[in-house]
Chain A
Amino acid sequence: MMRRLPRWAGMALALAGLALAWQLAALVLDRPFLPGPGAAAAAMARLLARGDLSTHAGASLRRVLLAVSISFAPAAALGLAAGRSARLDAIVAPLLYILHPLPKVAFLPVILVALGLGEASKVFLVGLIVFSQIMVAARDAASRVPRETVDAVRSLGAGRLSVAFLVIVPASLPDLFTALRVSLGTAIAVLFLAETFATQTGLGWFIVDAWARVSYPEMYAGIMALSLAGLGLFALLDLAERLACPWRSRRPY
């Protein structure tokens, strides 16, 4: 049997494959809007040296992290509670079913008018999207916790609060991490859109600006930075999940 590839080797292989496909496409098309990976990497190195790219990446990352950290806990708490309490769910579920499928980006103009052009509007929009996705996942996860697991703890005399913290929260954690991963992708996409409006920081603005300046290598440097930022966030989430859910992957000894 073939031995499994170490993680770093798999990552390097995937990157090399992407670069190769990119290079081939650039050679075949031979048009200015698709420079090769070499030119984009050179632009990226130049921008990094000047400090531009890190400023913009930092601004985008800060917005995403802020939005996620503000919305995660209340969304998870409300979703878990709704998943366990029929009385609460009777109020929450209809709201969720009406509001969750709505594309929150559609409210971007309203949010911009209401919260201004500064950081608040972008953080709020991203936070809103993360909130509804986490809440949907938390509600489903909590309602799926096996009755026997809950009863086992209840039969030992545990009250509602003990059941919530000893059973419902840990049982739902893996699902919450999956929801975070999914919503992170959406969050970055929406942030990109929000950053193209009325701001001069963030990778979204940087990419559109480079496009307007017909500086394609810089545009691709921005796209690569966005993808690296996403990769970094995913790696961070993986680490957090390994620490928070050790029973899922490793034995403690």
Chain B
Amino acid sequence: MKIIIQDYTTAHSSESRLLYTALQSYKNIEAFFWDVQQNTSSYDLMDSINPDFILLNALGINKDLLHYFTYNNIGKIAILKVPNGTTKEQRQIIDDSEFLKKHVCLAISEKEMKNVRTVNLNPCVDINIPDMPMQDKIPLCIVANKSSVNPLLLKLSESFHVMSYEQNDVADIFGPNIRLCGLYHNYDQIVFDGIKDFKQPFFDALYRSNNVTFCSDDEGLIEKSKMLFGQNLSISNKDIDRDSLLNTLKEKHLPQNRVKQLLSQMPIDQSVFTEVNK
């Protein structure tokens, strides 16, 4: 089975990349990564690979691709990634589109789509991003979600860095998670300040640093933390079991888990993928 994965890396997520790498571990799947920044011709790509499936960013489908699908009578081979944070109106447009009705067999979306089968892939650890060692460890990293930091966190240590995935006034360093992720292991403690949800950076930090917690007004986050990680990871909880947390991450939140979930929803012969990996 051949599958093309269009890059839809964002500041918080490298889902397309981690799915691509995890798919490569299956001996009966040939995965191809489509880096849209390389300006590869959609026609050439489709003609040369002739994929069985193509995973596309719903907001990144270009005219060439539409044209190719329409005039080559391509069936339902598209898996559509509906980016998180897509507005209701945008989702409605996607849901009602001709492209979705004619060519999409599955949508990856955090919210249910009306006209197509939907799978919700939770964020997970991207195990492929290499560590970037620093000469010395720093006691604290505060991941700021907005242009201010909770003043109580600033008192936790005399030495700390403020990190953000978007440019803001308080960040010592900012950039997409795919760049900052390699730094997480250099900190003794990481606190995610003011988060509303657990996005991929939180999973990545948990996997790479020994003490990762969150600080948030959102009370529902504690319950969500227990549901996802089996523990309350709020900064107020002093009894976090690191070993058990790491086991939970390895059991439930690695790219292999998400790929299995994706494959299980695809219109394919499921028995092909129940065999042992390479």
| Chain A bound to chain B | no
- A→B interface (CB under 8 Å): none
